[in-house]
């Protein structure tokens, strides 16, 4: 592997502080949304968002992710039906009471209309190994790598002026079947993406204070 000189923008202390403040304001305005408009999202925007996510660091630069963009109404309908089947079982039989109590404040249930209403679903798959046909090469720190990529993805979605929801139906094996993914891929996250409905509402959340989340030694 060849190396190249790092291209680094050396900023003044004042610029660093100002840039960090502006980014903090931008990212703090990000909200999880469950009520979507059906307004079409330009595919070029989705493409750039995924390219941004793919810039994330990964173990040994294996980039063990694949992003499936679902816009087809038939496929979105199939995904909703399968997801609601798993979610209904979860809410009815599998979820412990403590979990249901925590979820109750958000007024969520097994019904997931956003899986059809949102114009785009981005399904993120994790690749446990690279399938090279006759050989398989192991990937490293797969969950960590894909998790970081998803964080970049959500930030890029917000920065583009769109909203999203991180949805994790359990189990998610139906996504691999519906989207016909290879055996080395497992569904990691299902993200509806689009514009918010004009009457969308979000809970008034309180984030932990800096002193609660950080320690300086």
Q: pLDDT tens digits for 145-190?
A: 999 999 999 999 999 999 999 999 888 999 999 999 999 999 999 9
**CATH number assigned to the domain comprising residue 137:** 3.40.109.10
Question: Is 23 within a domain?
Answer: no
Q: How far apart are CA 129 and CA 146, in angstroms?
A: 13
pLDDT tens, position by position, 83-112: 999 999 988 888 888 988 888 888 888 999
45 inside domain? yes
Give the phi and the psi of residue 19 in degrees, each rounded to 5: -65, -40
Residue 204 domain flag: no
Are 141 and 153 spatial neighbours (Cβ–Cβ below 8 Å)?
A: no
Number of domains, the chain: 1
For the entire predicted model, the pTM comes to 0.94
Gap between the Cα atoms of 190 and 132, Å rounded: 26
Average pLDDT over residues 71-91: 95
**Residue 18 within any structural domain of the chain:** no
Residue 21 lies in a domain: no
Whole domain around residue 164: which residue ranges?
Answer: 41-197
202 is a domain residue: no
């Amino acid at each position: 592997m060849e190396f190249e000189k790092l291209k680094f923008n050396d900023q003044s202390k004042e610029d660093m502080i100002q840039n960090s403040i502006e980014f903090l304001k931008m990212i703090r305005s990000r909200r999880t949304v469950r009520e979507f408009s059906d307004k079409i999202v330009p595919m070029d925007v989705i493409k750039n968002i995924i390219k941004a996510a793919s810039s994330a660091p990964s173990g040994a630069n294996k980039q063990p992710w694949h992003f499936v963009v679902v816009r087809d109404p038939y496929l979105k309908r199939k995904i909703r039906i399968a997801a609601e089947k798993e979610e209904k079982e979860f809410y009815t039989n599998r979820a412990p009471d403590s979990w249901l109590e925590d979820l109750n404040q958000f007024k969520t249930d097994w019904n997931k209309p956003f899986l059809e209403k949102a114009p785009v679903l981005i399904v993120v798959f994790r690749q446990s190994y690279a399938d090279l046909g006759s050989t398989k090469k192991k990937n490293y720190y797969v969950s960590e790598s894909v998790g970081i990529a998803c964080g970049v993805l959500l930030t890029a979605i917000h920065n583009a002026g769109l909203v999203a929801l991180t949805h994790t139906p359990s189990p998610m094996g139906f996504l691999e079947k519906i989207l016909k993914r290879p055996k080395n891929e497992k569904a990691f996250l299902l993200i509806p993406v689009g514009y918010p409905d004009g009457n969308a509402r979000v809970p008034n959340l309180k984030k932990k204070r800096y002193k609660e989340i950080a320690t300086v030694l």
